[in-house]
Structure 1
């Protein structure tokens, strides 16, 4: 038979590794040779061939190889022969080929692992009581910002949408529940959120401090006076300083010894620095030696005045004059005292009785006040008189050997009293008075009192404004002599990040930490009524946000208990966080769940017929929304409501468990994405009552991967509402997925038979989580726990990205199918971004290198996309070679993966289970943990492809 086996059928067993069975072993060429040999035997009589055309027209070597035989058969098939019977034979071989291919295709469609057509796979999995997962609608909690001062109930169905930058159709979302809103719940902050806890230190030994700046300050130079203020409890303490150094990052301050109560170490939020005083003024003189006179007193500085205290004369020098204020060289007299201007006489040599003597000649007593005589030191003295022959006084004098000058109070005659030059209006003023008006200066302002020994801080305690002047009182005891006041500072600085509290938002004491909950201290004086147990909140940190629920409220200590726990606050956590710090964390109280889709008007589904069993209706509306429901096999149910004779019927996953009177219905997906709705047969589920157009339906439209939006995508309300000012979406929408594809059904259907809708083994959890409509793939693994079984499930959300609220939905779905006491934690998978460096060699005379290069890029991105990756699956360098060299035009290649290491989507290094390298140091294999997936991200992966000419 020339090497062709003698067989009665054309089927064969398949070798391992094939994705499809090959039921037909042959093609038209082989079939023609088989027919030729069979006919040759039939047309041979007595050893002689009767049909000569059956002889091969091609010489057959005696030692023919398999390759030569295939070439001969191929030439035989295509050769032209002028023989009608041969042409009939060849046509028959071609017909058998076509029929065989059809049989092969249909045979493959009868087996779940090889079927490719959706309807065939659906029929196969239906035999396992498995139904294709419907498309899921994305969901996300949405923040409602109520108008200021508004409160009330926002009914379900409030719609909003995104604004795609590419101009595509926006995705419409709507709220799924009623929500009681209150503007006081718009944004809640935690206690001390804007109070930095970083230490600010005043160095006692050097009397200096470093004041950090958040930005450079202009017009500040060395020597600028300032005031350093620190809030201590309900009081503020001040310290006078001056600038000794300035840079863009800091100001160096030099000050005085710390006054009482001024802390050496404080917190940045307590500190302020006042610089560049605009007010600079010296006060008018005051004190025990100052008198206030009428402004026309006529006195001048250094004049000697005298006054009478009782029966005693006292003299003083005028030391300083400021308008109506006069400072004396001694304690001032009481108000009402008359002041007299003195004259003086100096000592001189004179001849008395033929002798030269030195005397201070004074007026006679009648021309001066008798007892108002003073020496140079203004000490009171008595005079001596010189008389003539008649005993009359000639003059009075003082001995010039003892006195160089004598002061006296002159008058015109003995009968005339000396004339006062002024009368004391006010004596010893202790307050500080200033000329003009105080401008913007007011009580409570800080000022620097600059004296000869340095500056001191004070605060204005009283201010009285008069017509032409004003008076100040301030803390501390100061003499007005020689002082200068600085106030009304133009520049007020706060230390850099003074309002940034980087401490954790949660309480870190051991008694407040748990793996299940966290305690948050709130900056609320009075808690709104709506902030109650069971209230849903969103806690937003620096770079992420999470939905939580209020579990308890401590009004006395003004804090709330929330679940789940904020990362880092768990007993097993670090107790620190870089994300959920007090400054960056915001708590939103008006939170409601929203879903992709928009509710449409009621439609008539059809008419009921009580005589029919399992009556079915096709609802030919595409993109029906599906909402999360853990009781359903795929974790979602269709967002439809069916009413029959004003009664709302209940949607169930299957009618198998429904009773005869249960008003239930089941929903199945059709291949075109529309719905088929089935009612009961009177045994499993109630039959429909007979009626005309009595089956009515309300539905929502919107679903699929397009609803998986990044955070802050949903911004615009479709229609305004009197309660709503704005909306905010801090958490990405997730859970949206298209209808289950054939590949997914192939994997999930067999697993569902093993799981039987309950989760016991890790494989059960993996299969059930992967079956959830919003999940591309899942993998369960177990963590050891002393008290109970703890299951971790890593999921890849449909469309990739962050899981958002999908993790909670999948967790609830798994708990609904798990045994009691099993702790389930659904976590996002950890990305391991694949970088590829490839050198391809292309036959440039046959292929365009640029086109081949682009094809390699597209093929790599598709082959190793996230959807095609597998959690926990090791990655081999050989897989890259297989894909690259499978592209038409690539003769051979050199490939390398992740030469710079492995990173996640945020650029952080990733630790994998094991990396295997070749002798050249290149990575040959990377083994990952169960929660990791290696894949190419078109936006993040570095794909370096170099094309070279191929030379033999």
Structure 2
């Protein structure tokens, strides 16, 4: 035992004197998030200096024997120990700020990135498409590039300004185009079958006074056919009547003659009941319908070309026989006729086509021949009893002469007549003359309509009795009905849209936006989802001015050929096409005088209205500046660095500090020309406004900030997308080294991923080589910064594809897909320490989990382990222990069946999964379509947007 009572081999240190403790040895293993760089602290510095007081190296201090803290000498040592403590603290901070991995200040990362030529991404402006509406009767208007419109902010938002990127030629007739709704009916006569080619006919107006059973006589240039009406439906909106004919000619009973000349007014078949049964059309879509809805709803819009410059057409496409280039050429050759050319062309094909159908008549009179009610003559025997009956013989009728059972004033001379024989066959003739006569025959007396027929074709007068008269029906009183155009039943889809009229001066390369009720989304195998409106962008690749010469009365209509087919199908009657469409980007133009030159080196000027707008571009870093600098009204150009600049190069650099302020730096004279001395001779034009705030919703941009003459309104039918904020410290920390890997040349598969990671607006990326069953390709999966939406019609999507081809092998097939999401489901019980409250600890656990498994901390194809979840929860102060009940995930392609079984699946699990996988891009063998066979890489995260996926409870 020692004097202090310590056990041998277990010294407590209480018997030891002062000792030298500094400088401490510095040792840091690789991969640490922070460096330990302090050689001592206040306590170790003071201890060391006390020990040195007794050192033989300082004999002059041997007389200082006190070690009391109140002694002035010891107090002086204490003060210097404090100085040493402060110096080592800041030295450690400086050392940490000198490395990208350990730096805690965004500015430190910014300056370190500059050393390797990487500039922190300043963000990307969102892109959108405006649809302008012109005033009625307005002349053609050119909306100039730079025209402004603002968004109407939602609560908590600020108004965002957008500007058009190019000039737009707008016309009032292009405000909202409609697809062709109707076409002339084609009703032909099949001579071999003696039948019509259709059983549905459309007539002008809604007052046709037709009823079921009425006769319609179709005249094909002398060949006639009588059909009977089955149903009548009036369309008051379109002002036409749909008539469906009976399948076969069905003769009416003899009593049908009681119908009046004009028939009854309207039958109940004309009326459309507005009464619905209980729940008709009001039901809630069941959960199992989602299995049909989800795949259709998730179909992205067709990726469009970046601009008209990318539109390539063959000679055969441009000079198609119906192409609009032909009237444009004629207008150039005959300028005096140009103003009237399209107007004359619109009506030049009226009645051009041959149609065998001459007319359609409603037969208002259904009558019987005179004598059809005559009784037979009785024959009496010697006892005055009737022994037999004798029928009347025809008297007065002939092949060209017919008497009706009464007088019908509606029958006119020259009108057609159809006579139905007892065997059901019809003979057709015309009324030469119609005369009212008093008829006495067959024991009957009364008025009658005498019809002199031309030609003579009635066979009913033949025979020994008038039995044929009793079984004959006469259809007369013909009233000609006007044919209406039939509605086109086809959905709007594919790569061609025929418009409702002839439109001139449409040019290839123009944008249009198509909107309407979708018909491609199904609730189940036999029912589509009604009322779902879809909208997509399309580019015009060609214009056809065409007419169908097989349809009588058809006129020229404009057909738009699209660069790529529509992604969806639309109900024709609901479709509208915005024709005055132009691309716009986030930001507002500023004109600013930077100052005056002084002929000195490295002259620097700061832009007064940050942040500078950068738009998406197919460049190395994926962005392009909107800044233009002029010196003495001469444009100078931005350079990435002074290296390589000559003394006459009109170039400048831009530097953006940590606060987002941008400075313009000019050359030294040897490297880059110096601006000459002058008074306010340096000016800049730029735009300010950038970031996620520009990703506004569809329809949110509606305030005209610039209103050219004739413009009435503006709207964005599609949402804005692609806007991303500037790099954060952590984002820049791991992106800066990536810029040195690919060196702007895409050779290996990994180069594509590294290049994408430094592209403006892209937050995560991965690349792998796959085959779709047809060819080998490089599959690149991307995710936006902060998981912003990346529409396939956005500039960001188009530009990154173009950049891959520009800086990589142009013959290497590539495919770019947006990440596939998997959402984590965590259910856990947590026991807190006795001195802590659950209400205070729970939010900290939620924040820790959302941070550890949020978008920023997870990579594509990175799995989640149960041990990670436990470690994250256990690391929160106040947690005693944790019991994870469930760890699962819900994939992006989840079906309704999966959702319905999710609760049962989680409850039935004996224990949480030890690992939640996240797949790299892969090939789905169940898909037969090569375009759908490759699936994007998965991103497994915990989303704050679905709070129920994180369920925490206190263990008591």
- Could you tell me the TM-score, scaled by structure 1's length? 0.61
Query: Following superposition of structure 1 onto structure 2, how do residues 28-47 of structure 1 map, counting pairs within 5 Å?
Result: 28-39=42-53
Of the three residues 588, 593, 596, the one matched with 2:583 is 593
Of the three residues 726, 729, 735, the one matched with 2:722 is 735
Aligned partners of 2:449 and 2:163: how far apart in 1? 66
Corresponding residue pairs, total: 702
Deviation per residue, 1:677-711 (Å, 9 max, x gap): 12234444333232111111222221122112233
2:696–2:720 CA contact under 8 A, matched in 1: yes
Q: Which residue of 2 aligns with 1:726?
A: 713
Q: Which residue of 2 aligns with 1:20?
A: 34
2:499–2:560 CA contact under 8 A, matched in 1: no
Q: Which residue of 1 aligns with 2:370?
A: 289
Relative to structure 1, is the Cα distance of residues 99 and 428 closer, same or farther in structure 2, using a 3 angstrom cutoff? same
Aligned partners of 2:173 and 2:43: how far apart in 1? 82
Moved more, 752-761 or 31-40: 31-40
Q: Which residue of 2 aligns with 1:417?
A: none
Q: Which residue of 2 aligns with 1:830?
A: 820
Secondary structure of the residue aligned to 1:873 is coil
Q: Which residue of 2 aligns with 1:10?
A: 24
Q: Which residue of 1 aligns with 2:99?
A: 111
Cα displacement (A) at 1:934: 1.4
Aligned partners of 1:939 and 1:686: how far apart in 2? 53
Q: Which residue of 2 aligns with 1:76?
A: none
Aligned partners of 1:228 and 1:948: how far apart in 2? 82
Relative to structure 1, is the Cα distance of residues 107 and 284 closer, same or farther in structure 2, using a 3 angstrom cutoff? closer
Aligned partners of 2:215 and 2:893: how far apart in 1? 47
Q: Which residue of 1 aligns with 2:939?
A: 933
2:596–2:679 CA contact under 8 A, matched in 1: yes
Q: Which residue of 1 aligns with 2:128?
A: 140
Cα displacement (A) at 1:743: 1.9
2:823–2:890 CA contact under 8 A, matched in 1: no
Q: Which residue of 1 aligns with 2:511?
A: 536
Q: Which residue of 2 aligns with 1:325?
A: none
Query: Following superposition of structure 1 onto structure 2, how do residues 496-511 of structure 1 map, counting pairs within 5 Å?
Result: 501=490, 505-506=493-494
Q: Does residue 1:863 correspond to 2:869, yes or no?
A: no
Q: Which residue of 1 aligns with 2:915?
A: 924
Of the three residues 675, 688, 708, the one matched with 1:701 is 688
Deviation per residue, 1:280-325 (Å, 9 max, x gap): x9987845426xxxxxxxxxxxxxxxxxxxxxxxxxxxx77xxxxx
1:227–1:275 CA contact under 8 A, matched in 2: no
Aligned partners of 2:718 and 2:180: how far apart in 1? 24
Secondary structure of the residue aligned to 1:927 is coil
Q: Which residue of 2 aligns with 1:311?
A: none
Of the three residues 166, 169, 180, the one matched with 2:158 is 169
Q: Which residue of 2 aligns with 1:571?
A: none
Gaps of 5+ in 1: 55-80, 196-210, 212-223, 244-252, 261-272, 291-318, 321-327, 331-343, 350-356, 360-374, 381-425, 489-494, 507-518, 568-577
Q: Does residue 1:646 correspond to 2:633, yes or no?
A: yes
Q: Which residue of 2 aligns with 1:783?
A: 770
Secondary structure of the residue aligned to 1:942 is helix
Relative to structure 1, is the Cα distance of residues 21 and 778 closer, same or farther in structure 2, using a 3 angstrom cutoff? same
Of the three residues 861, 865, 868, the one matched with 1:872 is 861
Aligned partners of 1:93 and 1:348: how far apart in 2? 158
Q: Which has the larger radius of gyration?
A: 1
Aligned partners of 1:378 and 1:635: how far apart in 2? 101
Q: Going by fraction, where is helix more abundant, 1 or 2?
A: 2
Deviation per residue, 1:148-170 (Å, 9 max, x gap): 56533111122222222215321
2:367–2:473 CA contact under 8 A, matched in 1: no
Q: Which has the higher contact order (CA 8 A, sep 6+)?
A: 2
Q: Which residue of 1 aligns with 2:616?
A: 628
Relative to structure 1, is the Cα distance of residues 358 and 242 closer, same or farther in structure 2, using a 3 angstrom cutoff? closer
Cα displacement (A) at 1:783: 3.3
Aligned partners of 2:787 and 2:819: how far apart in 1? 10
2:829–2:885 CA contact under 8 A, matched in 1: no
2:22–2:45 CA contact under 8 A, matched in 1: no
Cα displacement (A) at 1:348: 13
Of the three residues 790, 810, 815, the one matched with 1:803 is 790
Secondary structure of the residue aligned to 2:869 is helix
Cα displacement (A) at 1:114: 1.6
Query: Following superposition of structure 1 onto structure 2, how do residues 90-109 of structure 1 map, counting pairs within 5 Å?
Result: 90-109=78-97
Cα displacement (A) at 1:901: 3.7
Query: Following superposition of structure 1 onto structure 2, how do residues 431-442 of structure 1 map, counting pairs within 5 Å?
Result: none
Cα displacement (A) at 1:616: 1.9
Aligned partners of 1:163 and 1:733: how far apart in 2? 13
Aligned partners of 1:526 and 1:194: how far apart in 2? 14
Of the three residues 498, 512, 520, the one matched with 2:496 is 520
Relative to structure 1, is the Cα distance of residues 174 and 128 closer, same or farther in structure 2, using a 3 angstrom cutoff? same
Relative to structure 1, is the Cα distance of residues 751 and 167 closer, same or farther in structure 2, using a 3 angstrom cutoff? closer
Aligned partners of 1:226 and 1:858: how far apart in 2? 76
1:551–1:561 CA contact under 8 A, matched in 2: yes
Q: Which residue of 2 aligns with 1:744?
A: 731
Secondary structure of the residue aligned to 2:98 is coil
1:431–1:471 CA contact under 8 A, matched in 2: no
Gaps of 5+ in 2: 1-10, 185-199, 201-210, 233-242, 251-265, 272-361, 395-399, 437-447, 461-468, 480-485, 519-532, 548-557, 900-904, 922-936
Relative to structure 1, is the Cα distance of residues 190 and 867 closer, same or farther in structure 2, using a 3 angstrom cutoff? farther
Q: Does residue 1:126 correspond to 2:114, yes or no?
A: yes
Aligned partners of 2:225 and 2:178: how far apart in 1? 25
Of the three residues 862, 886, 890, the one matched with 2:875 is 886
Deviation per residue, 1:823-873 (Å, 9 max, x gap): 444322222222222222224x52332232233223323333223332222
Q: Does residue 1:942 correspond to 2:917, yes or no?
A: no
Cα displacement (A) at 1:599: 1.8
Relative to structure 1, is the Cα distance of residues 658 and 630 closer, same or farther in structure 2, using a 3 angstrom cutoff? farther
1:666–1:679 CA contact under 8 A, matched in 2: yes
Deviation per residue, 1:517-545 (Å, 9 max, x gap): xx43534654542232x333445584765
Q: Going by fraction, where is strand more abundant, 1 or 2?
A: 1
Aligned partners of 1:113 and 1:647: how far apart in 2? 43
Q: Which residue of 1 aligns with 2:142?
A: 153
